[in-house]
Amino acid sequence: MNLIIDVGNSFVKLAVFEQDKLIKAYKVLSEDVLQTLRIIRKEYKNIDKAIFSSVGKLKKADVAYLHKYYKTIVLNHETKVPFKNLYSTPKTLGIDRIALVCASVQQYSNKNVLIIDAGTCITFDCITSKNEYLGGAISPGIQMRYKALHHFTANLPLLKTEIPKNSIGVSTVTSMHSGVVKGVLHEIDGAIQEYRLKYPDLTVILTGGDTNFLSKQLKSSIFANSNFLLQGLNFILQYNTH
């Protein structure tokens, strides 16, 4: 069994896999990681391998615990991956994006794929049917946009995400919801259409924390999978330990 840990900007996700099957997933704050690791070790005694990717930072005690009890891989730019990286600055490519591309290679081999990760940031990653990673785009996520409107202005409030009832906002609050949410939707739909001009057979994956919120509202045809990154990490672990 495998233990997968994704340290994001906002939360830490942990998951237990039996080969390719996701058995259980956890979503915790960084201060709760060690306690969760102890719970997992007690409940799943057959785990022998682990991998973690860290956009945020994993505490030294957490890392020490992993290395003490499991054969542990720390995902970095030296880790062997099953695709050709054509990014002009490969060492700056986020390891979360590397994991997403690996999930695509495993699940959608020989296809042109656009992976959209809607989390703290929104990332777009394109990999071709020839297993060549081209790059993509990075833009602010939904919460970051709401916070920016509040932080960089004198009078705009800090709002929670809400689906706008109309495109035309009739108040400051409804105008903000329309600007943020509709703006993100138009951005994603527009990006998909642009990529499809080059790759008409494009497969589109939507993942990340805002997957469920966005998937119901997008006009484009997509596959929604909130666990795509965890699956990619699991694949990397298997790829490097078999």
Q: Which residues are annotated as a binding site?
A: 6-13, 87, 94-97, 117, 120, 172
Summarize the annotated binding site for substrate as residue ranges.
87, 94-97, 172
Summarize the annotated binding site for ATP as residue ranges.
6-13, 120
Summarize the annotated binding site for K(+) as residue ranges.
117
The answer to whether 96 is a known catalytic residue is: yes
Task: Please give the single-letter amino acid code of residue 192.
Answer: I
- Strands 21-28, 12-18: pairing kind: antiparallel
Of the residues 20, 32, 62, 96, which is catalytic?
96
Q: Are 71 and 49 spatial neighbours (Cβ–Cβ below 8 Å)?
A: yes
Structure tokens at 40: 């997992």
Structure tokens at 95: 């390891």
Which run of H or of E encompasses 211?
helix 211-215
Give the long-range contacts of residues 192-199, CB within 8 A, separation 24 or more.
192/114, 192/116, 192/220, 192/222, 193/220, 195/114, 195/126, 199/112, 199/114, 199/128
Active site residues: 96
